[in-house]
Amino acid sequence: MNVHSSKYKCTECGKCFNSSRTLTVHRRIHSGEKPFECTVCSKRFTTSRELVLHSRIHSGEKPYKCHECDKVFSRSAHLTNHMRVHTGEKPYKCSLCNKSFSHSGNLQRHTRHVHSNRRPYDCRYCGKLFKSSRELKCHVRIHTGAKPFSCRHCSDCFTRHRQLKAHLLKSHNEGTWFTCHICQKNFCHSGSLKIHLVRHEGVKPYVCCECPKNFCTGYELRRHQLMHSDVKHFCCGSCGKYFGRKHYVVWHFKRCSRRLGFIGL
């Protein structure tokens, strides 16, 4: 670092900056100061640029357009992330297993789910443990029957956002399909297409330790391994009966709640 760039130094962490203005903005990290306030929702920001980008949520402005599928975004960073759907670029690599990801958030989730056994979140209905509050929140809907994601075109509601996204594509032709370049089959989610492409390759790296069966994905292996286990994690929120598989309890809950008159809870 040259002399000029070392001129403005943060007394809190020792980091150096080229100008006093940059140092002033940096110091807000330590002080927590957020001088820029949104006039619509009163949310505050550290810099004026962050406020400008946030304001597009309210105005609906989306100046960044994908030249492949015409999808538009409010931030250039969002467009950059989206372009990886088309290019297949995966710049974020796991240091433990060398698996690569298109987004840093996906790498963080992978590390948390695959390389960590810590499960600090427990379900108050059945006691099942989860690695993240998001996982727990989705799981609890099995017990409560909650469907917080509603379609703006019709009266249908869904337990998960990915279900709503699939519905919008299939029923209202809203959104972007992900198409296999080999067989032209369409998918609602990029993850589903990736799994499908693995099937074309014929690779099944996930091996069951109880029997000779192999699987394309870790999810399929985990679902299969339930066959070898007597553990029943999924509990019906209406009658308390336990099941070994999620789709069993979902199917049962619909019938059980109808029988007991709990529809609409």
Beta strand 8-9 with 100-101: parallel, antiparallel or unpaired?
unpaired
Domain-wise residue ranges, the chain: 4-59, 64-114, 146-260
pLDDT digits (tens, 9 = 90+) for 86-118: 888 888 888 877 788 888 888 877 776 667 677
- The yes-or-no answer to whether 4-59 and 146-260 have a common fold is yes
- Using alpha carbons only, what angle is made at residue 247 by residues 117 and 119, rounded to the nearest 5 degrees? 15
Q: What are phi and psi of 114, to 5 degrees?
A: -95, -40
Counting residues of the chain whose pLDDT is more than 70, the rounded percentage is 88
What amino acid occupies position 190? S
> Which two structure tokens, joined as six digits, stand for 187?
């998918």
CATH assignment of 64-114, given 3.20.20.70, 2.40.50.140, 3.30.160.60, 3.40.50.300? 3.30.160.60
pLDDT digits (tens, 9 = 90+) for 10-56: 888 888 888 888 889 888 888 888 888 888 888 888 888 888 888 88
- Tell me the CATH architecture of domain 146-260: 2-Layer Sandwich (3.30)
- Global pTM reads 0.44
Distances (CA, A) of 225 to 7, 17, 33, 231: 61, 55, 51, 11
Per CATH, the number for 4-59 is 3.30.160.60
